[in-house]
Structure 1
Amino acid sequence: MAIVRCFGKPSLFITFTCNPKWDEIMRELFPHQTPNDRPDLVCRVFRQKLKCLKKDLLYYHVLGKVIAYIDVIEFQKRGLPHCHMCLILDKSHRLPTADTYDDVVCSEIPNKITEPKLFQIISNFNTHGQCGITFPNSPCMIDGKCSKKYPKSFVDTSSIDKYGYPLYRRRNDGVTFQKKLNGFIFNNRWIIPYNKHLSKKYNAHINVEICSSVQSIKYLYKYCYKGHDRTTASVSINNVDETSQFIDARYISAIESLWRTLDFEMQDHSPAVYRLDLHLPNQHIILFQSNTDINNILTKNPGTKLTEWFKINQLDTDARHYIYADFVRYYVWKPLSKQWLKRKRGGNKVIGRIRTVSPKEGEVFYLRLLLNYVTGPTCFEDLHSFNGIISNTFKDACIRRGLLSDDAEWNHCLEEGLSFKMPYQLRQLFSVILLHCEPRDPLGLWNSFKFYLCEDFSKKISPEPDNQSRITLSPKISRYATSIKF
């Protein structure tokens, strides 16, 4: 999310899935072997294909000039690897309106006569499986409805729905095809969005989606980093069904185990995100061996990124022009010598990030607030001082600097949370602010963020957002705060 705060919302979301019938895999199999028998081969071929795809996207800019990206490797239950990618395009290459979506994404069946190869690829890899009333046992069915909202509606032009998600062009042109396996007839309503060039070149499932609204960002990143598939398994001992004994288990396929054994990367992103230390005076973490003399450790007292930042501000006047988070663009941290040195190159390929702190953590929260505004302090005492007056706490220092004179900081705190916190986490944060931070206008704070506090409900049920969020917040407010008037 630090990348999003620096470069803006993602422009494209891409899913690339391995095709076990690629020629590079099939021609290397021994007689009577299948791709399932050679997980090492599947891993190596997919990795090379993924490298080629990233080269097309990041260096040849086939979908536009990419200025930042993230990608994550995952594995299906049947074992096939796939990659989720979020791309942030340069402003000059972004798709500003729905009218331009059709230049990159297609959601219609290709012409079988003029594009036979593409037709074969899309019909094999980019169709959603049968679901709906006639297929209630389909994996995507939840409470009698398709969780992916298939089949889609026919639309003549691409547009954006009220939740900020794109609606791609799916014309009712009468084009259909039938799969031999079960005879189901597919039309444009069942096609998964794709890019013609990428699908034709890589002969695999490549889903290309456009990120049209900032509201969808955190859901995309949550999807990318949702973690591995897990299952609940019961344990039976001596023919006795121990129903109360369960284990939360992870399923690891042969391909995933080979991928990890070969030490292939599980995720990648650019630019690099540099996490900066944050701690109160003399409360930083020190790592040492169990047999080390504690007196030697206390004597050496190795510096942290924060304390060494104070030191270089004392020695280098140029360093005093930057706040803590921007400092990494101009200086590089040397972990062995525990010191900052001036950068010679690469400052545009790194982003500084101070870890997120809850307001209920007290002084650490106010220290983080000061570090986001004050440039060039040479010690913790400089953060306490303002206009010749030394405050006893970081909170008092924030008040003297006018950072807490109104509810602006709590607005900023919630706005920062919007980029990466889910709605239930925002509700918890809002409750913490009511309890610990004493906002001057809690009702105004509520009115500013009530849509985002109940955003998850708006997709499931549709009462008035104001009323629904009150219901959800009531237990939190009764737990954390004494009273609040709506």
Structure 2
Amino acid sequence: MLCYIEGQKAPDRPDIVARLFKQKLDELMRDIMNVHIFGKCQAGIYIIEFQKRGLPHVHMLIWLMPEYKCKSPSDIDEIISAEIPSQIEDPVGYKMVTEYMLHGPCGGKHMDAACIIDRKCSKHFPKPYYAETTIDEDGYANYKRRNNGIKVSKGKATLDNSFVVPYNRFLLLKYNAHINVEWCNRSRAIKYLLKYLNKGPDRATIVIQENLRPTGESSAETIIEVDEIKNYLDYRYISPCEAVWLLFSFDIHFSKPSVLKLSYHLPNHHTVTLHDSESYMRCYIGKTTKTWEPRKQRGCIGRIVYSHPASGERYYLRMLLNIVKGPRSFEELRTVDGTIHDTFKDTCFAYGLINDDKEWAEAISEAKLWASGAQLRDLFVTMLLFCNVSQPLTLWEVSWEALSDDILHKK
């Protein structure tokens, strides 16, 4: 596009960069979710991020239907490659891989590369050679990287298959861009990826201080000069591409099927939202028939929001909502065998939900599966407050996952 506009380059037109990236991303999602280039998909999620230099990129997770999942190394080889194609047999693939899918050069004479941390490549390149694709004991795939003598010169460095980023040939050739494709079939890896996708935007630490500096004398002070332009440049972190992306109202996050947050509240704690022109009396006029109706929007998953075990009645209310089917009032939730109990906690006792350690075991299991690290930490802190701990514990040094396993199995 820019060849028709004299004197401009891609960094000068973040609006074109954002639009082009959005078009490619939409087409990529159609290929995966609708055309099924990897097979039929049951779910997908992605998040848009922007590099410090401004370029957009996407992190994506795709769940395939069970019958289309890669269950053997040969299945992985059909969709993922980590080798440089032959320049004679596949000249187009050779050009694309050498242009977009080679890492580095780094290490050796290139210790100033961005990926070098403590004199080692943070991305673990160069990778070891493998005669064929294997799956190790931890469930991770070691892609086929043969030492077949195919090499390419990049600057003063010579790179081979040990520097190839795993890719899918169809996507690479169609979109003419860097697209890293990985096989992931372990719960721990998926949990890490989901945490990475939902980590939120970059954050900055700032310091607020007075504009006066004492000179050592009893009452003399000097004014500190502030370079407002320099401070603006130091603290600015929204790139032009990100600003344009937001101005265009493009989605930062995508998920299919969508997840509907199901909120709940204690009696008389309902959230009321009013417009300026409305009377508060109108908010309490609702439907007379309190009945369940079929959801109009299909393909949506409902999830009840998390409640901390130390939140009191709210926690027990959430527990009952997962047990009692079709309640039409708080009284029906608190009714067990014709008896209306005073509190939700008493109702849980009547159902036998908290008569023993079952309450804590279920809370730990739920927090371990999908709650954040902070929620899991708070849960353990609450448990320790209820327990008689004779020896002090350094909570930050505790392995939460291992500790939860020990408690669940009563070790």
Following superposition, the deviation at residue 370 of structure 1 comes to 0.6
Corresponding position of 2:52 = 77
Shift of 1:279: 0.8
Match of 1:331 in 2: 294
Matching of residue 44 in structure 1 with residue 6 in structure 2: no
Cα gap change, 1:115/1:170 in structure 2, threshold over 3 Å: closer, same or farther?
same
* Equivalent-residue separation in structure 2 for 1:273 and 1:230 (angstroms): 26
Distance of aligned partners of 1:111 and 1:416 in 2 relative to their CA distance in 1, 3 Å threshold? farther
Residue aligning to 1:261? 247
In the alignment, what sits opposite 1:194?
167
- How far apart are residue 149 of structure 1 and its match? 2.1
Identity of aligned residues (%): 38
Contact 1:359–1:433 (CA under 8 A) maintained in structure 2? no
Contact 1:133 1:144 survives alignment (8 Å): no
Counterpart for residue 225 of structure 1: 198
Over aligned residue pairs, what C-alpha RMSD do you find? 3.3
**SS of corresponding position for 1:129:** coil
Superposition TM-score, scaled by structure 2 size: 0.83
Aligned to 2:290: 312
Write the deviation string for residues 343-366 of structure 1: whole angstroms up to 9, x where unpaired. Answer: 4xx53x011111111101111111
TM superposition outliers: structure 1 runs of 4+ over 6 Å: 233-238
- Matched letter for residue 313 of structure 2: E
* Residues 406 and 450 of structure 1: CA distance in aligned 2, closer, same or farther (over 3 Å): farther
CA distance in 1, matches of 2:206, 2:373: 30
Query: Max radius of gyration: which structure?
Result: 2
**Aligned positions of 1:62-461 closer than 5 A:** 62-132=37-107, 134-180=109-155, 183-232=156-205, 240=225, 249=235, 251-289=237-275, 296-298=279-281, 300-301=283-284, 312-313=290-291, 319=292, 331-332=294-295, 343=296, 346-347=297-298, 349-423=299-373, 425-435=375-385, 452-453=401-402
Deviation larger for 367-376 or 232-241: 232-241
Q: Does structure 1 retain, via aligned residues, the 8 Å contact 2:368–2:401?
A: yes
**What secondary structure is seen at the aligned counterpart in 2 of 1:257?**
helix
Structure 2 CA distance for aligned equivalents of residues 264 and 405 of structure 1: 50
Q: Which runs of 5+ in 1 are unaligned?
A: 1-24, 314-318, 320-329, 333-342, 440-448, 456-464, 470-484
Q: Decide whether the 8 Å contact of 2:2 with 2:8 is kept in 1.
A: no
CA distance in structure 1 between the partners assigned to 2:202 and 2:98 by the alignment: 27
- In structure 2, relative to structure 1, the CA distance for the partners of 1:202 and 1:433 (3 Å cut) is same
CA contact (8 A) 2:308 2:375 kept: no
- The alpha-carbon distance between structure 1 residues 165 and 362, as it changes in their structure 2 partners (threshold 3 A), is farther
Q: Structure 1 length as normaliser, TM-score?
A: 0.71
Structure 1 residue corresponding to 2:35, chosen from 39, 56, 60? 60
Deviation at 1:281, TM superposition (A): 0.4
Contact 2:166 2:181 in 1 (8 A): yes
How many residue pairs match? The answer is: 384
Q: Distance in 1 between matches of 2:145 and 2:183?
A: 15
Matched residue of 2:59: which SS?
A: strand
- Measured in 1, the distance between the counterparts of 2:375 and 2:85 equals 43
Structure 1 residue 392: Cα displacement = 1.9
Question: How far 1:426 moved relative to its partner?
Answer: 2.7
C-alpha distance in structure 2 between counterparts of 1:359 and 1:311, whole Å? 33
Q: Distance in 2 between matches of 1:429 and 1:140?
A: 37
Aligned-partner Cα distance in 2 for 1:101–1:240: 61
- How far did 1:418 drift? 2.6
One-letter code aligned to 1:331: P
Identify if the C-alpha distance between structure 1 residues 38 and 97 changes in structure 2 by more than 3 Å, giving closer, same or farther.
same
